[in-house]
Amino acid sequence: MPDNAVTRRNVFQASATAAAALTAAGLPILTTATPALADTRHGRLRPEPLIPPRNRGIILYSVRDRITAAPDTSGVPYGFERVLARLAEIGYKEIEFAGYNQHTSILGRQITPREIRKILDDNGLVANGTHTQINPATFEQQLDIAQELGMRNIGTGSDPTNSAYRPDWDAAADTWNDLGRTARARGLRLYTHNHDAAYSFLLDAGPLDANGKPTRSSGLRRLEYFFDRTDPRYVFFEMDVFWAYVARFKHHTYTDRLGRQRTDVFDPILTVAPRTTRFPLFHAKDGNKNPTAGNGYDMVPLGEGDINFQQFFQTIGEQDFHHANWEQDTAPGGTTLPAQSLDFAALSYTNMSELTIYRRR
């Protein structure tokens, strides 16, 4: 693993609890100590980008207001052609899609996947994934679009099931194994993206309710159960780092089968690290801690919040394999601030590019 790293945003040390967990798992603890900088002056360490430039992406949901905007006189880019050109100018190399439509007044009709692919190619951009519906009835059609756009991954922004019960996750796993096998046969990886509820606890123990459903938990988390029920050759994951830390804030207690309150604090790093190559994609979404908010964090541009992305991406390893897509659900500024989402995209790219790893020469 890398020795150490220091950037201007690397100011948050792991808590004592997190440090103990990382140590027990044999994983490094990153601190804000500065010996690495001195070592570089003596030629013992060399700095490298923590997230390789070719793996820096954006999900277009963050700039959805500009993708779907009608032509206007604001001077702010709109539609696929202008917005993707601006994102390439900022420095992004990869695009994750969140729909394939723009305002019909731009072309007098809807744009086609083939036309979007040409825009990607013209700007040196690569499609690394999509949030679309994963439905057996339409899956082949979605694979066709993904291949037209040159994607390596196809996914969804929803959980495989919204249920809290094990049998429903078992059924979802069977479906996803089948669809993942189909995707692999066509050269793609199938992935699911989490919100915080995906890392809440299964109801799989204790007394049954009036409908015969369990009312308590064994302590298993929904998506972590799904990890083991799906075939690692066919089913992959995109961790939304923001929502993972929201899960840490919200989902830390459960009632066991005997009715006792139990505590189990979720750790996003320790969830990824043992199975890191099942996570080709991440949403690099930042937040400021706000314990009075329902989620415990308020979304902000990447690098402007309290989530330690330096520690996260360095500790999970496999830097060349992982692709980081910036996302901020709240980036659009509406009619009063039409340029805000693209401005946040530029700021977030700068902060992503400043994450640095130091390696032995």
143 Cβ contact partners less than 8 Å away, ≥ 6 residues apart: 154, 182, 183, 186, 188
pLDDT tens digit string along 31-53? Answer: 333 334 445 555 678 899 999 99
pLDDT tens digit string along 174-219? Answer: 999 999 999 999 999 999 999 999 999 999 999 999 999 999 999 9
| 105-133: average pLDDT | 98
pTM value is 0.89
In the chain, which ranges are continuous DSSP H helix? 16-24, 35-41, 64-67, 79-90, 113-122, 139-148, 166-185, 222-229, 241-250, 268-272, 309-316, 340-353
At residue 198, the pLDDT reads: 98
Domains of the chain: 50-360 (3.20.20.150)
pLDDT tens digit string along 215-268? Answer: 999 999 999 999 999 999 999 999 999 999 999 999 999 999 999 999 999 999
- Cα gap 313→51, rounded to integer Å: 8
Pick from 20-24, 94-98, 304-308, 338-342: least confident: 20-24
Angle between helices 79-90 and 113-122 (to 10 degrees): 30
At residue 22, the pLDDT reads: 52
- Provide DSSP, 264-297: ----HHHHHGGGGGG--EEEE-EEEE-TTSTTSE
| 321-325: average pLDDT | 98
Nearest to 31 by CA among 9, 14, 48, 50: 14
